[in-house]
Amino acid sequence: MSISENAMTNPATDLDQDRLKLCLEILPEADSTERMVIISICRDQGMPLIRTIRLAELIPIPLPLLESRLS
């Protein structure tokens, strides 16, 4: 079982009781591919859930990310 699969078997997170840490890493655009984003979701306990998705899947881009691109 992979680390990501193991993380998904943990009990659901109760956002009223638990804390989540999200990390987005926007990768540089490659010559012939779409820009990719690595998403890491960490709980207080257990392994993080890590996924790579296309930046287009985050549309609309959250305001804080948009503001950081404009400055």
**Domain ranges (residues) in the chain:** 3-70
Identity at 31, one-letter amino acid code: D
Contact indicator for 21, 41 with CB cutoff of 8 Å: yes
| Per-residue pLDDT tens digits for 9-67 | 555 666 677 778 889 898 888 776 788 999 998 877 778 889 999 888 887 877 877 77
pTM more than 0.85:
no
Residue spans of alpha helices (H) in the chain: 3-8, 63-70
37-64 in b/e burial notation, b at 16+ Cβ within 10 A? bebeebbeeebebbeeeebeeeeeeeee
